[in-house]
Structure 1
């Protein structure tokens, strides 16, 4: 105790006692935290009430894995689609580069063609980075393509080290460090993907490993990033929860005890337990500068943290959009639906067809009087999407006119009047539906069909 130094913490401006060093604990048998993860039962969330402080970095950002993790769960994108989406990400991220980087596979010619075309765009952000297999041939490919950073897999739980890799912790660490050194030798920055970190021994393996990574960073003078991968979605954001499930505990340990700067820490979450967004936000709050996402959450199993969700998390935490153009989110959703053929579930926040559609009659009445009552924010301003009211027996002529105006995006003098012949005829049809015993709201397709037929009879068009 007496030999430990007292230093000033420049973030809190408080004196603190230098922490103990954390050597590798090279166990003979794997620690799979069976008390927390009893496979034949539901995983446990345990607490010890050890609370760590908030440590929000001065600058936070989003990174993207749409073309890497996102492509592992769907049909591969074409080269043209990748380049088009990359253009959208650049526009969405804005001049401050809130979407800092995007990662790509390099395995196939199609992947490499897409990388080259994206790099030819000359955008500073998102930076084009790669994800490769850990071998010299792939390292050389990264350098030959002029990329400054690559990700490599460094699985860190005993589940992976003992059961998948058939190694001890010491063997795994030595193997990983040799790979990192090879990459740094050719001048390429390494992003270490600590797979399955929420089932790993944080103080017995993860922190000792990160301490070694920081030594390599200092020796070579090249950034070495740490990506905390919640591969199975086990992370929780609750204060006082025990590690390895505690997101605050993981970020605090890596930052404070392993000495990894916030700008080199990134969170990569999965949504197996519906916590991807809250865990990513928590990582920001406790010291990670980066959160890794994919568009619409497309990814392995239940998916990744949705990129669009973190855009609005950023705005809520910072009080501004950091230069991001959120209307691009709607453009991306339309591109996926119309050009790629990917169906976005209707109730998906911010991008689903029905995310700002009010269906309950009493809610619709409130929305028509003042949309702030039932709309999360000005969706017309931020997403180019007006709040809509679904049509039912309680909608009335005003509700039908509102539906037509918003659904067909009619503005100014193009809007339909609630007393028009078109609205009167549609209302008569709607009333007849419910007089025959219908109890559900009318679908968009039903309304589109009857409006098209009525417009044809009246000789008018909605433009």
Structure 2
């Protein structure tokens, strides 16, 4: 484990095979640049033979001048290999089915023919001076003696690294250790693993493979990929760093940033309880937990992994399980001071609201504190005066917002991919001279039924100093609810900013 482990990212190849995901050329280039910034060692850019568009994408990434190695995928067929070579990639990942079930029913070749095809492919790649990775597809369901035979054959042909894929995600962690250990003892070249997540153990299998001697792990950002996806890069890397004490070249402070980019481009939402990068990964609501974390963070966090290490932030969440320390801390962040009796009353009212099934936002806490203290806390810097959206099947969604900001009137308009996007962009543009904000989280829930259903929008926004505020609004018009929630959140952020600048 004290040797450096390398990370092979296949987000742009296996990740894009996620059902429903299709990335544009520009999105692929941006992800490739971000992965280079993140520090991955190899990027699998795509499968060039699959289409002319895919070939153009791979060629564009290969010519981008990135630090990492750009890899193209190819079957052990000359036309596939030539397509990769034509793209100018640094490495070719060539594969062929080796399990009896795939070999007999898909490619319909004998074991001897498969070995010959594999060797020929490796030799063709090396003749062109390109790095070669050979993958025995469905290795975890392949007879071990035959698997070792084909791995030794490609090693003798000049292969640089072999891949042991759990193609259908059926291997147990202990079984993965045993398999990779046998391969490790049978060959003299580096071993890479590619684990699928059909049973939710792709990361565990990848880590066991490293324990057994693998030096490289294939991953995807957010664990996306075929069926249930692949090993999640953030989870693999942080486990290697924090639990095993292993080294990689990953710049972990960009993990969250990279995750959010891929989430945005693919439309595959990250559940809040996702390890490392989920919104709740470093969030605390329970009174016992928040008390401990506020005193010393590693009382109820791993300690060996902090939010700052992965580009995240710790959050104290107010809800039905919150305690006095959490509420006092949140009020303190708003510069609201209370007596012990007032604090108890605010906590009681907060719990009453939460017990009705409502999520407590910063705006709710602010309103409760105002009521209990019997005075208006702060003032609205932004007061919405007018708001309209124009949309239709022949019209680019356009929003116009007019408001007073302080003593001045402001108006802004903007376009978007939909009415809500246009509305939020118009508000962000309107307040740009006062503060820079970005929407971190947006959720929508219908709270009544029928065609005139009342929709509740919850928005979390973050300013340029990293302060995060959440607010809710309900309306029969989704765009109106969205603008109201955003302006409420921004008003609280501006109040926090004013108080913070006075300290």
**Is TM-score (shorter-chain normalized) higher than 0.5?**
yes
Note if 1:419 corresponds to 2:345. no
Which residue in 2 is equivalent to 1:356?
282
1:101–1:128 contact (8 Å) kept in structure 2: yes
Which 10-residue stretch deviates more, 248-257 or 192-201?
Answer: 248-257
Task: Name the SS for the 2:288 alignment partner.
Answer: helix
Which residue in 2 is equivalent to 1:250?
179
Report the CA distance shift for 1:382/1:176 in structure 2 as closer, same or farther (over 3 A): same
Q: Distance in 1 between matches of 2:279 and 2:57?
A: 30
Which residue in 1 is equivalent to 2:223?
297
Report the CA distance shift for 1:159/1:454 in structure 2 as closer, same or farther (over 3 A): closer
Report the CA distance shift for 1:342/1:79 in structure 2 as closer, same or farther (over 3 A): same
Deviation at 1:430, TM superposition (A): 7.0
Counterparts in 2 of 1:99-114, with a 5 A limit?
A: 99-106=41-48, 107-114=50-57
Q: Distance in 2 between matches of 1:254 and 1:435?
A: 60
Note if 1:208 corresponds to 2:149. yes
Report the CA distance shift for 1:404/1:147 in structure 2 as closer, same or farther (over 3 A): farther
Report the CA distance shift for 1:171/1:337 in structure 2 as closer, same or farther (over 3 A): closer
Deviation at 1:351, TM superposition (A): 0.9
Which residue in 1 is equivalent to 2:29?
83
Q: Distance in 1 between matches of 2:331 and 2:201?
A: 37
Q: Distance in 2 between matches of 1:57 and 1:158?
A: 37
Which residue in 1 is equivalent to 2:99?
157
Counterparts in 2 of 1:356-395, with a 5 A limit?
A: 356-377=282-303, 379-393=306-320, 395=322
1:393–1:430 contact (8 Å) kept in structure 2: no
Which of 112, 117, 124 is residue 175 of structure 1 equivalent to?
Answer: 117
Higher relative contact order (CA 8 A, sep 6+): 1
Deviation at 1:67, TM superposition (A): 0.8
What TM-score results when the alignment is normalised by the length of structure 2?
0.66
Q: Which runs of 5+ in 2 are unaligned?
A: 362-457, 460-469, 474-484, 498-503
Q: 1:354-413: per-residue Cα shift (whole Å, max 9, x none)? A: 1221232332232233322122236342123222222124535652464589xxxxxxxx
1:88–1:332 contact (8 Å) kept in structure 2: yes
Report the CA distance shift for 1:426/1:148 in structure 2 as closer, same or farther (over 3 A): same
Counterparts in 2 of 1:130-145, with a 5 A limit?
A: 130-145=72-87
Q: 1:6-65: per-residue Cα shift (whole Å, max 9, x none)? A: xxxxxxxxxxxxxxxxxxxxxxxxxxxxxxxxxxxxxxxxxxxxxxxxxx5833211111
Counterparts in 2 of 1:312-461, with a 5 A limit?
A: 312-316=238-242, 319=245, 322-338=248-264, 340-377=266-303, 379-393=306-320, 395=322, 398-400=325-327, 402-403=329-330, 415-419=333-337, 431-432=348-349, 434-435=351-352, 438=355, 440=357, 442=359, 445=458, 448-449=471-472, 461=495
Which residue in 1 is equivalent to 2:61?
118
C-alpha RMSD over aligned residues: 3.3
The total of aligned residue pairs comes to 376
Q: 1:229-268: per-residue Cα shift (whole Å, max 9, x none)? A: 1012222232xxxxxxx223322322322x232x2x1010
Note if 1:225 corresponds to 2:167. no
Q: Distance in 2 between matches of 1:122 and 1:326?
A: 22
Q: Distance in 1 between matches of 2:58 and 2:213?
A: 31
Q: Which runs of 5+ in 1 are unaligned?
A: 1-55, 218-222, 239-245, 406-414
Task: Name the SS for the 2:114 alignment partner.
Answer: helix
Q: Distance in 2 between matches of 1:159 and 1:88?
A: 38
Whose strand fraction is larger, Structure 1's or Structure 2's?
Answer: 2
